[in-house]
A and B are shown apart, each in its own frame.
Chain A
Amino acid sequence: GAGVSQSPRYKVAKRGQDVALRCDPISGHVSLFWYQQALGQGPEFLTYFQNEAQLDKSGLPSDRFFAERPEGSVSTLKIQRTQQEDSAVYLCASSLYLTGGGYTFGSGTRLTVV
């Protein structure tokens, strides 16, 4: 596609509910990243994929967070047993390169946990 597509655009979850957030990167992009952006702050790194391999998940805040990219294209970020502190915008970015820039970000999914 022309850009990075994320869905849903907005998600309201009751505390304790599981959610799944989807990212469709630009076709052919090797690298895929997930970031979490709390209100009024800069995005913070969650995890990184190179094709289907998850090379870095050091930013995932707890074992309730899980990401996958099974075929090296679409990625899903899953949050189990959501809590209020999970409320944030979740941004996905992809890049043609392994390193050194060229990032394109999606519009994000705004998750609100009530």
Chain B
Amino acid sequence: GIQVEQSPPDLILQEGANSTLRCNFSDSVNNLQWFHQNPWGQLINLFYIPSGTKQNGRLSATTVATERYSLLYISSSQTTDSGVYFCAVEDNAGNMLTFGGGTRLMVKP
């Protein structure tokens, strides 16, 4: 099946800093989503982005499908951004999402 790798695995930022999270995938995909899992375990959908660039406030994402990677940008980070960020892809053959291992982000005040 499709492989999804995320980097870095862990990230510590000072409040106000910017960061870039990366997601590499091993095959062409039908769908790519970025999620934020908060400390209570809730997975919140950030972006549905199989290709192109989207922005939502301080967050933006870019997927280059031909090169099989996606980037999530967090600008002016806040303590509430802390948690785990997951990239998940849906391949062309099936319906389910395959998740990467996540990037654990801690934003310090």
Contact = CB atoms under 8 A, between A and B. Distances in A.
A62 interface: no
B31 interface: yes
Main secondary structure of the interface of B (DSSP, over half): strand
B97 to A, nearest CB: 7
A46 B25 CA distance: 20
Interface in A61-114: 89, 91, 93, 98-105, 107-108, 110
Main secondary structure of the interface of A (DSSP, over half): strand
Interface string A43-75: 111001010000110010000000000000000
Chain A's interface size range is: 20 to 34
A85 B42 CA distance: 22
A42 B22 CA distance: 15
Interface residues of B, number: 24
B95 A101 contact: no
Given A56-B95, A101-B90, A107 B33 contact: no
B70 to A, nearest CB: 14
B40 to A, nearest CB: 7
A42 B48 contact: no
Given A42-B86, A42-B100, A98 B95 contact: yes
Interface of B: 4, 30-31, 33, 35, 40-43, 45, 48, 50, 86, 88, 90, 94-102
